[in-house]
A and B are shown apart, each in its own frame.
Chain A
Amino acid sequence: MKTKGNNRLLALLILVLLNACSSPARSPQQSLGQTEIKYASGFRIKAITGGTLIYLMEPADSTQVLARVALMEPGAKAPDGTTALELPLKRIVCLSSTYMGYFLELNARDKIVGVNSFRHLNDSTIRARILNGEILQVGKEGHFNGELLMALRPDVVFVSPYKTGGYEALQHLGLPLVPVPAYYEETPLARAEWLRLFGRFVSEVHRSDSLFAQTEKAYLQLKKLTASIDQRPTIFSGRLKGNVWYVPGGKSFYAHYFADAGASYLFADNLERGALRVDFEQVYQRAARADFWRIYSNVPGNYSLSQLAAEDHRYPLFDAFKNGQIIYCNIHDRPYYELGPVKPHWILADYIHHFHPQLLPHHQPFFYQKIN
């Protein structure tokens, strides 16, 4: 009958369609889909057969690939042209304290076997492990001790790619290097999102994703608090080094925090992501009447106005100084470099608490105190 022929055609059609909809034929190292990265531009994650492919991007141009790292399950073959690392990674060397926070957040302390120097490391467990020899110090930035590094037999070495050239020297040692340009992310959430990247390295994929999601939620909630504020206090940042004042640019890390915290950054008009070199007169001209001044302090203990005044005789000229409206972070006592990247919501809360006390009256500042 004619209907039987039509049914057959329909079945064939459906079969063809089904085949078309199903996934294409599997071949080795087939891409299984990119993970969605919401804020960070310095890395990309792709699932592949047998593992994960990580792309690390150039800080200057996030379309250029700086390095490709393949995290493979045992026995799986890594694609060509990548740094192949076999999971699980048990011996990690971390050559900058700015990434340490990610490992602390992920509770991966026992996987660390080498660090550069512990001057900026506050975590007590890490310090204890250094003191009893479980973690080795392999030199300071630019002067890493190659022999020590090699003797550690690390599974992976995380290093900052451009600072003072320590990276180039290490490339000849045949170590499994992973350059980490996390510091070059522009926004706080972007920098925090690197937690997810490190989560892949320490086999804590879901935990890192969920931790970041919590951080993101908290941060955005805080940001919403200030979104409708009209009265934004003015703020400037930094201090003189010699004759030069390094002023964070309008698109810098600090500038984003200030904006999200409901302040008006006095140098927001320029488009630099890094710091500008400006002389005192220019800064004073713009910031003499600023409401707030943000600095850091490197000496242990409470920082006082008189200490700041002793550094340069012109600092007391600023209104922010005269009114005592200087917020500072003591990077010696506070784990700013360690935890700062992974706790952007804590930093934001500190700022909001100082700029708009009525919004967070019960908040205890962790990083930033007001100077006394």
Chain B
Amino acid sequence: MRPTLISVKTRIFPQKNLLFLLLLFLVALSFLANLVWGSVNIPLDFFFGGVQGDEWQREIHANIVTRTRLPQALVATGAGMSLALAGLMLQTLFRNPLAGPSVLGISSGASLGVAFVILLAGPQLSTLFRHFALWGELLVIAAAFTGALLILLLILGTSLRLPGTLGILIIGIMVGYLSSSLVSMLKFFSTETDLHSYIIWGLGSFARLSPQRAVIFILLAGLPSLGLLALGKTLNLMALGENYAANLGLNTAKARIIILLVAGYLTAVVTAFCGPIAFIGMAVPHLCKFLLRTGDHRTLLPATLLLGAATALLCNLAARLPGMDATLPINSVTAFVGAPVIISLILSRRFQH
């Protein structure tokens, strides 16, 4: 008795819907955990409308939850979603398991833009900068975005002239190196305070955005991410190889441009608002494939999106828990999580083919 439908089964959860419910639950749980836990101990009954403690204490707790924990959680969600999706798309496009948002040199371009503003413009344009100080944060965001987009345009232009993806990969990596060395030069000629500011930016953080800016970020990053879920068939075809994809009717040149554009945009937005965040883009897609054991991008895309959000939220939580000793930089935590994930996946027998 043959079934009437070709079902998409995943290895762990035969029911696709159950799987997504579980991932959604994981995201919700991580989000709530970010609100409930932090270096200040807020009693749980506060969240259930408890009226213990004086009014002042409750107001402080409310401010802590809504003005610092909530924006962080929102930003982490948006960043995790976007980076994980960008990573999956780039890994499929380049057919390379080590691809990720940083491989295009886009975060390096963003860093270069920010370096210009913080390291170069600071001392030279100190009076001008005083006026900008009001808009200081926005200036950094704009500079990061501009730097990232310039590199993205370069990559897109290259992809139009060079067939295949190896050329783009190499150019992206080389551009990354170039940006880094330019930044090193700028660092050398700058003052200690400016250098410190730049280094802090480079550590990455989900906590920099006010609630309003966090919402803007979610809209700029999250909404397009949701739109990407429609690219399942395109990515499946690209994964077959460009010849097969073209034979099956896909405009591969256009697909390549779209994938680069979208992945690049998402990377640019996240880097502009949060600084460079490493490892989530590279590790989460692998984690997703490992857990789901499927190669169908129509399942992988939404699953990666959810898993990316959950991972970023959990990393944010881990970075804050140390307590009195202040928070760890987010990139340290993502590295601790991401590198072992990749190493263990490669060593795991199931991954070998």
Contacts and interface: CB of A to CB of B under 8 A. Distances in A.
Contacts of B136: 310-311
B130 A281 contact: no
A99 B83 CA distance: 49
Interface string B38-77: 1110000000000000001000100110011101000000
Contact of A242 (B40, B135, B205, B325): B205
A145 B136 CA distance: 34
Q: Interface size bucket, A side?
A: 20 to 34
Nearest to B196: A241
A301 interface: yes
A351 interface: no
B213 interface: yes
Interface in A298-333: 298-301, 306-307, 310-314, 317
A299 B133 contact: yes
B324 A278 contact: yes
Interface in A265-303: 276-282, 284-285, 288-289, 298-301
Q: Interface size bucket, B side?
A: 35 or more
If over half of B's interface residues share one DSSP class (helix, strand or loop), that class is named, otherwise mixed; here it is helix
Interface string B163-207: 000000000000000000000000000011100100010010101
A140 B129 CA distance: 23
B213 A313 contact: yes
Contacts of B67: 313-314, 317
Nearest to B214: A313
Centre residue among A140, A280, A288, A311 by max chain B CB count within 10 A: A280
B251 interface: no
Contact of B326 (A141, A245, A301): A245
A313 B210 CA distance: 5
A281 B68 contact: yes
A284 B67 CA distance: 11
B122 to A, nearest CB: 10
A164 to B, nearest CB: 9
A284 B210 contact: no
B97 interface: no
A242 B205 CA distance: 8
B213 A244 contact: no
A313 B211 contact: yes
B63 A242 contact: no
A171 to B, nearest CB: 22
Contacts of B329: 242-243
Nearest to B138: A310
B130 A280 contact: no
Contacts of A38: none
B96 interface: no
B130 A300 contact: yes
Contacts of A314: 67-68, 210
A242 B203 contact: yes
Interface string A118-136: 0100000000000000000
Interface string B111-144: 0000000000000001101100111110000000
Given A298-B193, A311-B133, 10 more contacts: A244-B327, A278-B324, A282-B39, A282-B40, A282-B324, A284-B68, A288-B56, A289-B56, A299-B130, A310-B135
7 contacts: A140-B191, A277-B325, A284-B40, A301-B127, A301-B130, A306-B134, A310-B137
Interface of A: 119, 140-141, 241-245, 276-282, 284-285, 288-289, 298-301, 306-307, 310-314, 317
